[in-house]
Amino acid sequence: MEWDSFKSVFIAIVIAGALVVGAFFIQAQRPDVATQQPSPEMVKATGKCASCHRRETAAIVEEYERSEHAKEGTTCLDCHQPQDGQESFDHRGFTLAKSLTSKNCSQCHAEQNRQFLRSRHAAPAWAAVQGSTDFSREQIEFAEKYHGGAVARPANKLAQLEGQAATEVGCQGCHNIGKPNPDGSIGSCTQCHGRHEASVKLAREPRTCGQCHMGPDHAQIEIFEESKHGVLFETDGDEYNMDAEPEELTVSDMPSPTCTTCHMSGQEGLSVTHNVSERLSWYLFAPVSEKRPSYAENQAEMKQTCNNCHTAQHTDRYFEDAERVVQATNEKVNNYMSIVDSLRAEGHLTPTPFDESLEFEIFDYWHYYGRTAKHGAFMGGPDYVQWHGNYELLSRFVHLKEKAKELRSHGSSD
């Protein structure tokens, strides 16, 4: 063979090879699951939906196609068809549910739903804003078994004062993670999971939790980002195997933790849970923190997560320090509140909540600064223990004492 023709044959082979490899990559990146699934059900349901929705709502079909659901053959209709108790509507030859709830997911993921219902993410989260009125008697009884006093309570006073328009988009925008649905189920799984994306990778991202767990009253995402864990994740996280199967997750998949590693994941054989309350030993959100009823068990479980990566001595020392911050904060809040109580008893404050500017300061004392100090101590945020926490606790205590002196020198208000 002449050199020139050998060269052109060689080039042709290289080009053909590149095309095959290229086509394979395009195929691998953009699997056309919706319209090319082998199963007849998939073609019948998803294929039809996708043939229109690729035009109408392209992003949704795109997200779906990347999801575990598409790979496993879960169709559009599997999720969108009405379950017991759901309103429906006719849509291009299909009957669809008017709105989807955790019930649509729990038909296939009953165990995750069972665990979720035992957490404070379920009924207690909604009751924290709206009180118990939206729940059935059975729902209240069930949740009260796990979280006494967290559901059988009145609507939140601050929410009522701010009004419905503010509450619906504000408070409820986060607390609807546990909203009771008209079909009898509770909450929404897609607060953490994507509606169409469905991956454990998304759920394990700290930002997923940070959608709600942020700001001065529950600065968990800010504290995490300040912590060594947060910095490690920021630096190396893109090399972690965030997609690892929940039952098989190891420290080599994720050698430093995100929120979910400590609160939910089953790293190294620890059981994975959708009950975020399961590993907590204190009620840190409370004005004065008390131990939870299952303090010892819960704390042992959390420590087990730490001990997958640290020595037991390191973990125990860390918890002892954090618990000392809890005790010290309790003392500060108690001292502050005893002045508040005496001002109330002496008639310098009305019994009506939030009708005097001092009451906002009182609320901020424990709700912002006390909580922040406690959360910082448990999740590695010294700046939150100190400048956003204890410094404010001290300066505001001084301010209250001055204010009390001033009020007492003016005699009774009203």
- Buried b / exposed e over 354-383, threshold 16 CB at 10 Å, is eeeebeeebeebbbbbbbbbbbbbbbbbee
Give the torsion through C-alpha atoms of 273, 277, 281, 287, to 10 deg: 160
In angstroms, the CA 90 to CA 378 distance is: 51
State which residue, 192 or 393, has the beta carbon closest to ligand HEC: 192
Please select the residue that binds ligand HEC; options are 31, 131, 170, 216, rule is CB under 6 A.
170
Residue 83 Cβ vs ligand HEC, minimum distance, rounded to whole Å: 9
Q: Mark 102-141 with x for binding to ligand HEC (rule: CB under 6 A) and - for no binding.
A: x-xxxxxx--xx--x---xx--xx--xx------------
State which residue, 348 or 366, has the beta carbon closest to ligand HEC: 366
Write down the residue that tokens 């990778």 correspond to.
201
State which residue, 203 or 393, has the beta carbon closest to ligand HEC: 203
State which residue, 196 or 332, has the beta carbon closest to ligand HEC: 196
In angstroms, the CA 76 to CA 91 distance is: 13
Please select the residue that binds ligand HEC; options are 57, 136, 235, 395, rule is CB under 6 A.
57
Q: Mark 244-273 with x for binding to ligand HEC (rule: CB under 6 A) and - for no binding.
A: --xx-x-x--xxxx-xxxxxxxx-----x-
Residue 341 Cβ vs ligand HEC, minimum distance, rounded to whole Å: 21
Site for ligand HEC in 350-369 (CB under 6 A): none
State which residue, 50 or 340, has the beta carbon closest to ligand HEC: 50
Please select the residue that binds ligand HEC; options are 156, 181, 294, 304, rule is CB under 6 A.
156
In angstroms, the CA 412 to CA 385 distance is: 36
Chain-centre distance for alpha carbon 153: 23
151 lies in the site for ligand HEC, by CB under 6 A: no
State which residue, 224 or 336, has the beta carbon closest to ligand HEC: 224
In angstroms, the CA 150 to CA 412 distance is: 36
Q: Please say whether the beta carbons of 219 and 388 come within 8 A.
A: yes
Please choose, out of 18-26, 158-166, 344-352, 399-407, the segment that lies near ligand HEC by the rule CB under 6 A. 158-166
In angstroms, the CA 65 to CA 28 distance is: 11
Residue 398 Cβ vs ligand HEC, minimum distance, rounded to whole Å: 26
Please select the residue that binds ligand HEC; options are 8, 16, 36, 72, rule is CB under 6 A.
72
Please select the residue that binds ligand HEC; options are 325, 333, 343, 379, rule is CB under 6 A.
379
Please select the residue that binds ligand HEC; options are 192, 325, 340, 349, rule is CB under 6 A.
192
State which residue, 260 or 390, has the beta carbon closest to ligand HEC: 260
Residue 400 Cβ vs ligand HEC, minimum distance, rounded to whole Å: 23
Residue 309 Cβ vs ligand HEC, minimum distance, rounded to whole Å: 3
Please select the residue that binds ligand HEC; options are 52, 58, 296, 394, rule is CB under 6 A.
52
The number of residues in the chain equals 414
Among residues 145, 74, 134, the alpha carbon closest in space to that of 107 is found at 74
60 lies in the site for ligand HEC, by CB under 6 A: yes
Contacts of 310 (CB under 8 A, 6+ apart): none
Q: Classify residue 54 by burial, with Cβ atoms within 10 Å: 0-12, 13-18, 19+.
A: middle
Residue 14 Cβ vs ligand HEC, minimum distance, rounded to whole Å: 37
Residue 356 Cβ vs ligand HEC, minimum distance, rounded to whole Å: 18
Q: How many residues bind ligand HEC (CB under 6 A)?
A: 121
For the chain, what is the radius of gyration of the CA atoms?
A: 27
Q: What residue type is assigned to position 271 of the chain? A: S
| 99 C-beta neighbours (distance < 10 Å), count | 13
Residue 184 Cβ vs ligand HEC, minimum distance, rounded to whole Å: 14
Q: Please say whether the beta carbons of 318 and 377 come within 8 A.
A: no
| 216 C-beta neighbours (distance < 10 Å), count | 15
Residue 19 Cβ vs ligand HEC, minimum distance, rounded to whole Å: 29
Q: Please say whether the beta carbons of 127 and 153 come within 8 A.
A: yes
Q: Mark 207-246 with x for binding to ligand HEC (rule: CB under 6 A) and - for no binding.
A: -xxxxxx-x--x-xx--x---xx--x----------x--x
Contacts of 132 (CB under 8 A, 6+ apart): 140, 151, 152, 153, 154
Please select the residue that binds ligand HEC; options are 288, 308, 363, 407, rule is CB under 6 A.
308
277 lies in the site for ligand HEC, by CB under 6 A: yes
Contacts of 186 (CB under 8 A, 6+ apart): 102, 117, 122, 123, 126, 139, 178, 179, 180
